[in-house]
Amino acid sequence: MITKILIVDDSATQRQVLREMLAQDPEFEVVGEAADGLEALELCHRLQPDLVTMDIQMPRMNGYEAIRRIMSETPRPVVVLTSSFSDRMLGISFKALDSGALMVLGKPASLSMPQEEKGRLLGQLKAMAGVKVVGRRWNRLDRPAAHREPIKASPRAGRSPVELICLGASTGGPPAVQGILQGLSPESTPPIALVQHINLGFVDSLARWLSETTGFMVEPAKMGCRLQPGKVILAPEKRHLTVLKGGMVRLIDADLVDGHRPSVTALFRSAAVYGSSAVGVLLTGMGRDGAQGLLEMKNAGAWTIAQNRETSVVYGMPGEAVALGGANEVLPLGSIANRITKMCASGKEAHNNGK
């Protein structure tokens, strides 16, 4: 199957490098090129590409606005290509994800780049081209319009106080995690452990971006660190993040789990030791990582939540969890923080009443 690609970049040289690289793979066809966001939007309507590679800093219409317009008017997978992994560009990258891009990758510097790197980039573009994206409407506050549903009384009434919240996400995850953290209060939230599938070199900047935009302290995990209320421990690169009863964090150099390291299932599986005092949340993402782990948390007595199809960028991981029976609840993204808040409050109330 041929993947039709639209290249968007104001640099003719960069467009040529990417075009020639894509031409080396018979499964790709470059159907158009654009030098700015306005041209990109027009070509998306006219050419209906399967995938758009997007630059950010362009004349007339920048990449952020172009992504928002594309996702609102003619939704399709958008991958941002950046030429720098400096702190400034990484901040730009996360803003692009918030605008609706699926992924941020490094631009190919030249056709002479190592074959392994070239193959990895082409493989990631193929994977993103197959993602069924959900259109996004933007409100006046420059945020995606939230899909909110009323939350009934907490199903955790009478259960143990919440001691740990585990979050797992992949494609589309950074803005989803950001939205949940923005809906929680650091002063009244138990420790949070997070696994987010993300490209190498992005973990530290993801932690900084979430810290700066949510009010939570978000830090990549280090051996020997402990879980703390109001703090988010983020899985580091190439190591599984696991937790021990009592708040200790353990990093493991082990085989891939569900195709990933760090793996959401590895975190969820370890969190099962917390039983009914844990909450597991599986968010948007490709594949099945986290599904089996969420089921194991549920079987151990934890309360488990899967993001619903309508608000997921990719309904892979949460969909697999639902199919396995691993989710106590399936909720829209805009309702998850509210549910967590109510569960934490009801657990504290039950604990205080029992004294």
Query: What is the 3-class SS of the chain, one letter each residue?
Result: CCEEEEEECCCHHHHHHHHHHHHCCCCEEEEEEECCHHHHHHHHHHHCCCEEEECCCCCCCCHHHHHHHHHHHCCCCEEEEECCCCHHHHHHHHHHHHHCCCEEEECCCCCCCCHHHHHHHHHHHHHHHCCCCCCCCECCCCCECCCCCCCCCCCCCCCCCCCEEEEEECCCHHHHHHHHHHCCCHHHCCCEEEEECCCCCCHHHHHHHHHHHHCCEEEECCCCCECCCCEEEECCCCCEEEECCCCEEEEECCCCECCECCCHHHHHHHHHHHHHHEEEEECCECCCCCHHHHHHHHHCCCEEEEECCCCCCCECHHHHHHHHCCCCEEECHHHHHHHHHHHHHHHHHHHHHCC
197 carries an active-site annotation: yes
> Would you say 190 and 343 are in contact if contact means Cβ atoms under 8 Å apart?
no
- For residue 310, count other CB atoms closer than 10 A to its CB: 10
Tokens of 205: 């900047």
289 carries an active-site annotation: yes
Rg (CA), the chain: 21
240 carries an active-site annotation: no
| Residue of 9, 197, 205, 312 marked active site | 197
| Residue of 9, 55, 98, 289 marked active site | 289
User: Rounded CA gap, 180 and 151, in Å?
Assistant: 15
| Residue of 170, 263, 277, 335 marked active site | 170
Residues with a catalytic annotation lie at 170, 197, 289
